[in-house]
Structure 1
Amino acid sequence: MDEQALLGLNPNADADFRQRALAYFEQLKISQDAWQVCAEALAQSIYSDDHIKFFCFQVLEHQIKFKYSELTEVQQQLIRETLITWLQAQMLNPQPEKTFIRNKAAQVFALLFVTEYLTKWPKFFFDILSVVDLNPRGVDMYLRILMAVDAELVDRDVVHTSEASYYFALTFEARRNTLLKDTMREQCIPSLVESWYQILQNYQYNNSELTCQCLEVVGAYVSWIDLSLIANERFINMLLGHMSVEVLREEACDCLFEIVNKGMDPIDKTKLVESLCQVLQSAGLFSIDQEDDVDFLARFSKLVNGMGQALIASWTKLIKNGDMKSAQDTLQAIEAKVALMLQLLIHEDDDISSNIIGFCYDYLHILKQLSALSDQQKANVEAIMLAVMKKLTYDEEYNFENEGEDEAMFVEYRKQLKLLLDRLAQVSPELLLASVRRVFNTTLQNWQTTRFMEVEVAIRLLYMLAEALPVSHGAHFSGDVTKATALQDMMRTLVTSGVSAYQHTSVTLEFFETVVRYEKFFAVEPQHIPTVLMAFLDHRGLRHTSPKVRSRTAYLFSRFVKSLNKQMNPFIEDVLNRIQDLLELSPPENGYQALLSSDDQLFIYETAGVLIVNSEYSAERKQALMRNLLTPLMEKFKVLLEKLMMAQDEDRQMALADCLNHAVGFASRTSKAFSNKQTVKQCGCSEVYLDCLQTFLPALSCPLQKEVLRSGVRTFLHRMIICLEEEVLPFIPSASEHMLKDCEAKDLQEFIPLINQITAKFKTQVSPFLQQMFMPLLHAIFEVLLLPAEENDQSAALEKQMLRRSYFAFLQTVTGSGMSEVIANQGAENVERVLFTVIQGAVDYPDPIAQKTCFIILSKLVELWGGKDGPVGFADFVYKHIVPACFLAPLKQTFDLADAQTVLALSECAVTLKTIHLKR
């Protein structure tokens, strides 16, 4: 072997050496006999370096995986002998191999197993067992090989290239794996199970590592072998014995979980679970101590969850089969586990609690199906409810300012608890409402002296009721009088108690989330609106010390105002005055940190727009207010644009361009209050927006930071097409001309939807403009598409693909809007060029989305031009190019019918042929 190249296998080697080692590996993979050198190195223990040994196994792995069928009988025999020789050496070596080498060796053994077991090596396991006997190192390898074989047979992830080959590989592997498992069940599984029993018996007291490994193997195989081989007295007694041994009990728990999880007859399953429970209970495992080892309790909780869900699955099947007597017995068995379930659910460790939620959820599902609940069942429901309320509470350690992994896990855990709460509401909505009301009222009476987590959870529970007790369109305050009264009372308490002033971000945020969730309350009791508005607008909300609170409040305030626009009229001017300072555009040079980020300011501008537009003021007053809102933006924009033109430093240019972009974005956002031109006209605001347009358009001719500026102005134009309609049209030609200058793929890709919007909306009105700019736009597109790019530059290739799609989407819009004359009037040579690009798109590019669009364009053109009075030469083009394209495209190797988009492309291809048939 190339000793120099092997030096690069060391993780500490420099980049050149590592690169050389990588190249050497690739060379050995394609070499005919390099694997033999590696086999010899392993069999004779030539190298002591761990990384070289690992490397040799990798070469063998590649040979078995991809080139095994090319080997002769003798060579295949050599690989078998190499592995057995290496295995024998493991028991004699003074030091065991590193774990990563043993795992890789086990993978290679497993690959050879799936390749040879059915044909050439039926004694695979017997040969391994005869070598390892009960030698600890040999047993370790034997167990690792078993786990690797299970991974091949059960967890197999096929590396796939395309959907079709993936499907084929999957079905081939699935069939092969089924055959392997069937053959193993017949020929060797009983012997393997016996070997596991012997290993457990020999090592349970003196080698916990091997015992745990063996338990893991039993747990893995139990899902697909005959359960009676494991679920019998001698095995179960041994496993239950392990439950009392500290170093073994976690693995024993997992193993029992797999046994319980195995599909079987419902009556047998109930008997199995009950017999396990009796022994576990008599061993004292059913009384949970908070001080117990949490790692074990997490596994034990998973086991109890598995037993509970297994019993519930049995109950469901028995009910379905009409066996009421057995179903009743199983229900009693389930009820007997509820006390244990509650102990685990309420455990202070969230992992332990989380593991039992499935059982709890399914148990509530059973209760929901019963016609009446017994007193004990009602008590269980209440106990679960109290447990959920307690567990929803934040810990003292929760870091609100810098949320990390632990915090993210608690948020996920809370989502699971919410599902339980929703299920509780289905079982007993009255009880849930009464319990939440009790907790809420007690807490809010003394909120000043109560810990933040208790106040937060009280408000959170009220918030959660909105989803737990569903109604249509949030009408919580009408209909059922009891519920409406309870929720109304709690909301009144929430907004009048003063709890919005609580000095903790979690309580503040929960307050605002809840008032917005129950906005319909303020339609019933509008007298509370001023109180809540003040909370939003002062130090509790938009001026809070926490940026996180300010940011979320900006969004919630926008939602609150939108939902209550009918009730906002008396407060509009006051609110607009109070938010004035929050609307200021912060130029980069003023140096102070604004209260709100530009993203948050978007919501404030939208809110201001909504307040003005939905007010009961006259059109003149609305226009004046809108002008007051937008004029400062326009003035600042002009000043900043001049500064940008003169700026030399690139960082400063970027900062100024961002600020200009924000100004345009804020103006765009105010227009969201309008649904169409009619509403803009009614408010007398057309003139203000036209002024904005005239102010912003000069930015398009700025040679600096083009991408940022163009992006902002484009978005504004999109909005104005909706709000001002044809009043925008005079500005489009010059804007388009600027946007087509020095543009890149991304610019064009974003510009085309604007032209599509104009074309689809105004159709023949914009025909002259489209005819004028059609070829300049196409030249710009072709110029970018023809730019050379590096072969492996993925992002450039993707940008070109997206631009190509946008180009075809533009042609589709033009033809689909009944404006084919725009293309026809471009001169014969240009028309032909355009048509050939569409044919090329339909056939040559392996992009089914573009292909589908191209066939839509072709069928539309055939429909419009395919008759007797179509353009000269088009009939020829149909037969010489369109018809062949319809057959060439599906014949391409890249035309993958396992892909949904390709099927749609084929469908459009068929439509094109049908249209030709009808027209010709």
Structure 2
Amino acid sequence: MACQSVCVIMDEQALLGLNPNADARYRHRAMAYFEQLKESQDGWEVCAEALVKGIYNDDHVKFFCFQVLEHQIRFRHAGLSAAQQQLIRETLMQWLQMQLVSAEPEKPFIRNKAAQVFALTFVMEYLALWPKFFFDILTLVGLNPRGVDVYLRTLMAIDGEVVDRDILHLPDEICRNSLIKDQMRERCIPTLVESWFQILQTYQQSHPEITCQCLEVVGAFVSWIDLNLIANDRFVNLLLSQMSVMELREEACDCLFEIINKGMDPADKIKLVESLCRVLQAAGFFNVEQEEDVDFLAKFSRLVNGMGQSLVLSWSKLSKSGNVKDAAEALQALESKVPLLLRLLVHEDDDISANIVGFCYEYLHVLKQLPQLADQQKANLEAVLLAVMKKLTYDDEYNFENEGEDEAMFVEYRKQLKMLLDRLAQVSPELLLEAVRRVFNNTMQGWQTASFMEVEVAVRLLYMLGEALPASHGAHFSGDAAKTSVLQDMMRTLVSCGVSSFQHSSVSLEFFETVSRYDKFFLVEPQHIPIVLMAFLDQRGLRHGSPKVRSRVAYLFSRFIKTLHKHMHAFIEDVLTRIQDLLELNPPENGFPVLLTSDDQLFMFEAAGVLIVHGESPMERKMAMMTSLLQPLMDAFNVLLNKLSLERDEEKQNAIGDCLSHAVGFASRTSKAFSNKQTVKLSGCSEVYRGCLQTFLPALSVPLQRGSLRSAVRSFLHRMIICMEEEVLPFIPAASQHMLKGCEAKDLQEFIPLISQITAKFKAQVSPFLQQVFMPLVLSIFEVLGRPAEENDQAAALEKQMLRRSYFTFIQTVAGSGMNEVMANQGAENIERVVFTIIQGAVDFPDPIAQKSCFIILSKLVELWGGKDGMVGFPDFIYKHIVPACFLAPLKPSFDLSDAQTVLTLSECAITLKTIHLKRGLEFIQFLQQEYLPSLQVAPEISQELCQVLQQPDVKVLKNYIKAFFQRAKL
């Protein structure tokens, strides 16, 4: 093909769109042209010729040509003729030849794409068509730096295609890749390794970037090639020499790490690690304090971590195999690395320290398994503990009020340190407890003059002991003076030394976190409760200068009150008085900064509710306190509700709506204090909650802010059904009436669980109400489901599906609640209409969750009305509609028997058939054999088999048979 024809065939206008700065019209045309070339039979040949003849200088066009070539090789290689495959090989080698002599090297992104195309060709052709792939490339490039660069990039691309475990491969690709690696080991790996050695030796001073690339290649390939080719004196000495070259040492470190990570025999691994360590130590690399390059030290720390973990694994394998002598040598090798481990662990740079945590953790695990610790090992333990304590400390730059990425990284690093602390506790709880006690007591004695970092970490360590120590080591408070634990002593010091007044948010937070974690301490020493309560209530806690502290303290205060409410009686009225301003609804137009957000206030209302309900006051006093807590909410609610109906500004409407919702939410949260033992009635609080219901329910009819307001009131109703028992029943009809007005799918879907909850809880008590509301509710549902919707409106379709499910769940609740009369008294026409919707749900909608509910309902209705003394006309309905549903639904193409939810539906379908047999007996069997199954063209012997299984008592046999029956029927 001549250049002339290439120029004609390539669409010059389309190529303009490849430039990133081209306008959208050209870019769109370029994309279309790319698709056209990919799909055409010979479009790739045009691109191949453009590459080898250097027709285009534009980098984006070159990249484009490689992309077309890549697509051809990846997806169409098998369909190419031998000549076309040869053309691809020649194209690549000619392009590579050009790189060796061209004036300017290609841009890195083009070289990467070219390497990818080389790698793809290799994968497709190496086993059968191009076994000399590497020989051809190495012969061509020799030690030309540009050629070597493409060769190394190609090797990394091959690693991505064939080896990289992070890339998901199909089973046949895995098989192919294994064959490729086997052939490479046999044919060319020694040659490749020799080429790497030559490259590393030749270019370490003149081309450090090529040397780094080569080190990356060695690191990538070492995991699956013969280690002796790399782990020998010649190669390792070269790598170690590169550890001393500033531009190379990070990559050399990574390469050594990959070599160390290679799976091998434990004894060989120990020899390799030890020889490497001797050389590194002799070269001065262990003097980490003198190294200023933190990036290199982070890599070196990772290498030491790898060496340490390798030694631990070797020791573990040797110990399990009973090889005592070699295991002892492994342990000795391991112990000799601990001084270096400790120097890296305490390094001021957290990345360097974090990279060694894995080795440290596993070393502690080794110590845990030893029957007895030597003095040096105990000293190592203590050194690790001191290092962890030091590294847990915040630094001056930590931004507590505006935490960013650095702060998030330190929080993650602290979690790693906590793992070490937990492991230390497993090895020697006594040592940990004693060390923390010493640090804590020393810090608390002089907290007034200590830095916030020292004080915070001292309290933090006390907090962390709770999880680290096993319960048998004093992580409990016995109340026995003779057994008073170290932990108990430290808690006593914490609450009495005045450190809660320390002026730093991190210390304040740690103080409250710790007293909340160890709330059981106050059960045995309740005399300290008043001091801590005051800290919660004043500027140290709920009135702290930091919003973050106030928010967290609100939650912790609620937790503290819930645990210790039995010891709070003397302080209830005082506490309620002190937090009164924090229990006020924040009106939208206030404009003043508030101490707590509405979310935080929820915890305050919950705490206030617990104090009132669980106090020892008489019922009248509880009623008075609860009224003074909730009445302001009701008063504000009435005012705001009137205001909402008059407000025209949408933004102000939203603010008022939010405020109304908060008022309902706060009242709802107080009800969390009640329990089965301590009901609203027994607490004397019925009247105030009735008042809340009367106040809040009218909001259900307000057209503005419907979503949030309805949701809040509905949640309150759910809570009242739980807490108020039958006292809530008089309010349900009015609430239902409000909620059924102008319903949307979502409103109904959220209303149905409320009715279902009432039905399940009160049963016969709500039967008259249910009979009354049943059809209005059902008709509302029908009306919403029948509304036309846009064909592609997926949100509306999903809402309808969820409403349909809710409807079937509701009918299921009614049918299963033993209130036969609710549906029976709806009139024949209405019953028929409802039952037809159940048949339709069982058969017509491909939603196994809804279908399952429908078959449960049908079983129940058969049980209720299908017997000799059942509902008139219902047996006919069974034969005309319910039996067909049991067969038509599973026969539908959408009924997927490999889906677990569908199989559950089929089980319910089987139970429905079984229930019909139990109610109708032989009559049903005759109907199946003589009428229904023949109408489905079921063979007589299969009909007989099915009917025999139906008559067996074990329904499990029927379920299994029915599944096989329909699997066979659908073949």
Class of the TM-score when normalised by the shorter of the 2 chains: over 0.9
Q: How big is each residue's C-alpha offset from its partner over 1:110-167, in whole Å with a ceiling of 9 and x where there is no partner?
A: 33333333343333333333333322122112111211221122336678xxxxxxxx
Matched residue SS, 1:289: helix
In structure 2, the partner of 1:568 is 568
In structure 2, the partner of 1:720 is 720
1:916 and 2:913 aligned:
yes
| Mean Cα deviation higher: 697-706 or 171-180 | 171-180
Q: Do the aligned partners of 1:536 and 1:553 also contact (CA within 8 Å) in 2?
A: yes
1:351 positional shift:
0.5
AA at the equivalent of 2:506 = S
1:125 and 2:134 aligned:
yes
Q: Do the aligned partners of 2:465 and 2:475 also contact (CA within 8 Å) in 1?
A: no
| Mean Cα deviation higher: 48-57 or 244-253 | 48-57
1:238 and 2:238 aligned:
yes
AA at the equivalent of 1:99 = P
In structure 2, the partner of 1:554 is 554
Aligned counterparts of 2:80 and 2:423: Cα–Cα separation in 1: 61
1:628 positional shift:
0.7
Aligned counterparts of 1:528 and 1:5: Cα–Cα separation in 2: 81
Q: Do the aligned partners of 1:866 and 1:875 also contact (CA within 8 Å) in 2?
A: no
| Mean Cα deviation higher: 80-89 or 595-604 | 80-89
In structure 2, the partner of 1:875 is 879
Matched residue SS, 2:876: coil
Aligned counterparts of 1:528 and 1:66: Cα–Cα separation in 2: 75
Aligned counterparts of 1:186 and 1:851: Cα–Cα separation in 2: 60
Matches for 1:25-174 after TM superposition, within 5 Å: 25-155=34-164, 170-174=170-174
Matched residue SS, 1:589: coil
Evaluate the alpha carbon distance shift between residue 309 and residue 628 of structure 1 in structure 2; reply closer, same or farther with a 3 A threshold.
Answer: same
Matched residue SS, 1:716: helix
Q: Do the aligned partners of 1:474 and 1:518 also contact (CA within 8 Å) in 2?
A: no
Q: Do the aligned partners of 1:212 and 1:248 also contact (CA within 8 Å) in 2?
A: yes
In structure 2, the partner of 1:885 is 889
Q: Do the aligned partners of 2:475 and 2:487 also contact (CA within 8 Å) in 1?
A: no
In structure 2, the partner of 1:164 is none
Q: How big is each residue's C-alpha offset from its partner over 1:153-191, in whole Å with a ceiling of 9 and x where there is no partner?
A: 2336678xxxxxxxxx64333333223322322232222
Matches for 1:443-482 after TM superposition, within 5 Å: 443-471=443-471, 476-478=476-478
Evaluate the alpha carbon distance shift between residue 863 and residue 490 of structure 1 in structure 2; reply closer, same or farther with a 3 A threshold.
Answer: same
Matched residue SS, 1:682: coil
- Residue 840 (structure 2) aligned to one of 836, 843, 849: 836
TM superposition score normalised by structure 1: 0.92
1:251 and 2:251 aligned:
yes
Evaluate the alpha carbon distance shift between residue 353 and residue 473 of structure 1 in structure 2; reply closer, same or farther with a 3 A threshold.
Answer: closer
1:226 positional shift:
1.8
TM superposition score normalised by structure 2: 0.88
Q: Do the aligned partners of 1:535 and 1:541 also contact (CA within 8 Å) in 2?
A: yes
Aligned counterparts of 1:224 and 1:482: Cα–Cα separation in 2: 63
Matches for 1:356-755 after TM superposition, within 5 Å: 356-471=356-471, 476-478=476-478, 484-676=484-676, 679-755=679-755
Q: How big is each residue's C-alpha offset from its partner over 1:68-101, in whole Å with a ceiling of 9 and x where there is no partner?
A: 4444444344333333333333333322222222
Aligned counterparts of 1:759 and 1:518: Cα–Cα separation in 2: 43
Point out the structure with max Rg over C-alpha.
Answer: 2
AA at the equivalent of 1:209 = E
Q: How big is each residue's C-alpha offset from its partner over 1:610-659, in whole Å with a ceiling of 9 and x where there is no partner?
A: 00011001111111111110000000001001111011110000000000
Aligned counterparts of 2:740 and 2:250: Cα–Cα separation in 1: 67
Evaluate the alpha carbon distance shift between residue 864 and residue 14 of structure 1 in structure 2; reply closer, same or farther with a 3 A threshold.
Answer: farther
AA at the equivalent of 2:554 = A
AA at the equivalent of 1:91 = L
AA at the equivalent of 1:581 = D
Q: Do the aligned partners of 2:606 and 2:671 also contact (CA within 8 Å) in 1?
A: yes
Give the percent of matched residue pairs that are identical in Structure 1 and Structure 2.
70
Q: Do the aligned partners of 1:886 and 1:913 also contact (CA within 8 Å) in 2?
A: no
Aligned counterparts of 1:785 and 1:131: Cα–Cα separation in 2: 73
Matched residue SS, 2:541: coil
Aligned counterparts of 1:859 and 1:238: Cα–Cα separation in 2: 80
1:366 positional shift:
0.8
1:582 positional shift:
0.4
| Mean Cα deviation higher: 141-150 or 53-62 | 53-62
Evaluate the alpha carbon distance shift between residue 682 and residue 917 of structure 1 in structure 2; reply closer, same or farther with a 3 A threshold.
Answer: closer
Q: How big is each residue's C-alpha offset from its partner over 1:285-305, in whole Å with a ceiling of 9 and x where there is no partner?
A: 111126521111101101101
Aligned counterparts of 1:914 and 1:534: Cα–Cα separation in 2: 63
**Unaligned ranges ≥5, structure 2:** 1-9, 918-971
1:331 positional shift:
0.3
| Mean Cα deviation higher: 384-393 or 243-252 | 243-252
Q: Do the aligned partners of 1:475 and 1:520 also contact (CA within 8 Å) in 2?
A: no
Q: How many pairs are equivalent?
A: 900
Q: How big is each residue's C-alpha offset from its partner over 1:233-267, in whole Å with a ceiling of 9 and x where there is no partner?
A: 22111111111111111111111111111111111
Aligned counterparts of 1:859 and 1:182: Cα–Cα separation in 2: 62
1:477 positional shift:
1.6
Q: How big is each residue's C-alpha offset from its partner over 1:412-470, in whole Å with a ceiling of 9 and x where there is no partner?
A: 00000001001111111111111111111111111111110001000000111111113
Q: Do the aligned partners of 1:158 and 1:170 also contact (CA within 8 Å) in 2?
A: no
Aligned counterparts of 1:862 and 1:46: Cα–Cα separation in 2: 82
| Mean Cα deviation higher: 518-527 or 323-332 | 518-527
Matched residue SS, 2:289: coil
Evaluate the alpha carbon distance shift between residue 525 and residue 344 of structure 1 in structure 2; reply closer, same or farther with a 3 A threshold.
Answer: same
Q: Do the aligned partners of 1:613 and 1:683 also contact (CA within 8 Å) in 2?
A: yes
Q: Do the aligned partners of 2:671 and 2:719 also contact (CA within 8 Å) in 1?
A: yes
Matched residue SS, 1:371: coil
In structure 2, the partner of 1:265 is 265
Aligned counterparts of 2:483 and 2:360: Cα–Cα separation in 1: 26
AA at the equivalent of 1:326 = D
In structure 2, the partner of 1:211 is 211
Q: Do the aligned partners of 2:701 and 2:741 also contact (CA within 8 Å) in 1?
A: no
Aligned counterparts of 2:67 and 2:425: Cα–Cα separation in 1: 56
AA at the equivalent of 1:92 = V
Q: How big is each residue's C-alpha offset from its partner over 1:341-370, in whole Å with a ceiling of 9 and x where there is no partner?
A: 000000000000001011111111111111
Evaluate the alpha carbon distance shift between residue 667 and residue 356 of structure 1 in structure 2; reply closer, same or farther with a 3 A threshold.
Answer: same
| Mean Cα deviation higher: 610-619 or 203-212 | 203-212
| Mean Cα deviation higher: 142-151 or 433-442 | 142-151
Aligned counterparts of 1:58 and 1:776: Cα–Cα separation in 2: 64
Q: Do the aligned partners of 2:661 and 2:712 also contact (CA within 8 Å) in 1?
A: yes
| Mean Cα deviation higher: 547-556 or 791-800 | 791-800
1:905 and 2:889 aligned:
no
Q: Do the aligned partners of 2:756 and 2:813 also contact (CA within 8 Å) in 1?
A: yes
Aligned counterparts of 1:837 and 1:474: Cα–Cα separation in 2: 60
Aligned counterparts of 1:481 and 1:370: Cα–Cα separation in 2: 35
**Unaligned ranges ≥5, structure 1:** 160-168
Aligned counterparts of 1:741 and 1:386: Cα–Cα separation in 2: 68
| Mean Cα deviation higher: 686-695 or 909-918 | 909-918
Evaluate the alpha carbon distance shift between residue 157 and residue 238 of structure 1 in structure 2; reply closer, same or farther with a 3 A threshold.
Answer: closer
Aligned counterparts of 2:232 and 2:892: Cα–Cα separation in 1: 64
AA at the equivalent of 2:910 = L
Aligned counterparts of 2:547 and 2:656: Cα–Cα separation in 1: 23
In structure 2, the partner of 1:201 is 201
1:476 positional shift:
1.6
Aligned counterparts of 1:314 and 1:383: Cα–Cα separation in 2: 24
Q: How big is each residue's C-alpha offset from its partner over 1:818-861, in whole Å with a ceiling of 9 and x where there is no partner?
A: 567756753323421332123233xx35xx65565556556656
Aligned counterparts of 2:374 and 2:599: Cα–Cα separation in 1: 55
Matched residue SS, 2:399: coil
Matches for 1:287-302 after TM superposition, within 5 Å: 287-289=287-289, 291-302=291-302
1:514 positional shift:
0.6
AA at the equivalent of 1:477 = F
